[in-house]
Amino acid sequence: MKRVTIRVPATTANLGPGFDAFGCALSLYTDVTFEEMEEGLQITGCDEEFTGPDNLAYVSYCAVLASLSEEVRGVKIHIDAHIPICRGLGSSAALLVAGAMGANVLRGSRLSTQGLLNITNAMEGHPDNLAPAFYGGLTASMVDNGLPVTVNFPLHPDWEFLALVPDFDLPTAKARSVLPAQLNRADAIYNISHGALVLKALELGDEKLLRNAMQDRIHQPYRKSLVKDYDAIEALVRTNGAAFCLSGAGPTLLCITRDKKLDEKLAKKLDSITQANWQMMPLHVEFQGAHIIAAE
Ligand code: HSE
């Protein structure tokens, strides 16, 4: 095979209390095409600043070739990204996943999905975006002896995921830099208990339980000052009965609801209570993980 296009879903990580552990794939995609050539690196479809060898799709492409003990030849990479960049919807993980799968497929698909997750997790440092991007659906992961272990959890079919995406970005490194290094016991207990109930509420389709359980003391309280309009939007979403959390490291805010008209209800008030420009993206769960959409 000379050329392959990989489609990777967006992901929302953490889901409130499941910091660095829970994630869910969503119906928004980045497609990346890899085509081998004699020599050189050509990256198209993205801003000039991302066309060098530090592009994440190329970095993971090279890491997979290294782990296969295969030589890196020239490659053309074309990125067709619909996942907003640096907004907490897994745009970086999508590139890592695409690069890993692209390299593996072009050289004979010798590594399993778990093998690709192991390699990319060593680069990203936490599997909560990578795991749902590879496997689809709702996942929880732990890292044991440096290796990620992931399970899929069932989801009630009626959930709607409404992402509120602002016109400003928030680099993950900045959003992690404000987190305390140590936790107290009460906060750890709070997150463990709330996290378990979030998973059950998502399975049952229990909106009231989800609204109560989807609260966090490990990251959101520290990050919200980096996200303009956070408190006003949280109050609006909760008044309308939906569960609310920061998507990944932010700044996207996520509403989870069974109300198919939540977007219309929020639209009436959003502009008047916010300073930034917020785009509403109604999404659903994507149960299919990263996969090949074209090959020749
Ligand atoms: N769990 C990660 C965080 C997701 O919240 O920082 C972003 O990589």
The per-residue pLDDT for range 160-185, each reduced to its tens digit, is: 999 999 999 999 999 999 999 999 99
Fold of the domain built from segment(s) 160-283: Alpha-Beta Plaits (3.30.70)
* Residue whose CA lies nearest to ligand 1 atom number 5: 249
Pocket of ligand 1 contains residue 20 by CB under 6 Å: yes
The per-residue pLDDT for range 124-146, each reduced to its tens digit, is: 999 999 999 999 999 999 999 99
| Portions of the chain given CATH number 3.30.230.10 | 3-154+286-295
* Class of 3-154+286-295 in CATH: alpha beta
The per-residue pLDDT for range 205-222, each reduced to its tens digit, is: 999 999 999 999 999 999
SS (H, E, C) the chain: CCEEEEEEEEEEECCCCCCCCEEEEEEEEEEEEEEEECCCEEEECCCHHHCCCCCHHHHHHHHHHHHCCCCCCEEEEEEEECCCCCCCCCHHHHHHHHHHHHHHHHCCCCCCHHHHHHHHHHHHCCCCCHHHHHHCCEEEEEEECCEEEEEEECCCCCCEEEEEEECCCCCHHHHHHCCCCCCCHHHHHHHHHHHHHHHHHHHHCCHHHHHHHCCCCCCHHHHHHHCCCHHHHHHHHHHCCCEEEECCCCCCEEEEECCCCHHHHHHHHHHHHCCCCEEEEEECECCCCCEEEEEC
Average pLDDT, the chain: 97
Centre of ligand 1 to C-alpha 37, Å, is 35
Centre of ligand 1 to C-alpha 66, Å, is 27
Pocket of ligand 1 contains residue 14 by CB under 6 Å: yes
Pocket of ligand 1 contains residue 150 by CB under 6 Å: no
Pocket of ligand 1 contains residue 12 by CB under 6 Å: no
Centre of ligand 1 to C-alpha 128, Å, is 7
Centre of ligand 1 to C-alpha 39, Å, is 35
| Portions of the chain given CATH number 3.30.70.890 | 160-283
Residue 1, pLDDT score: 72
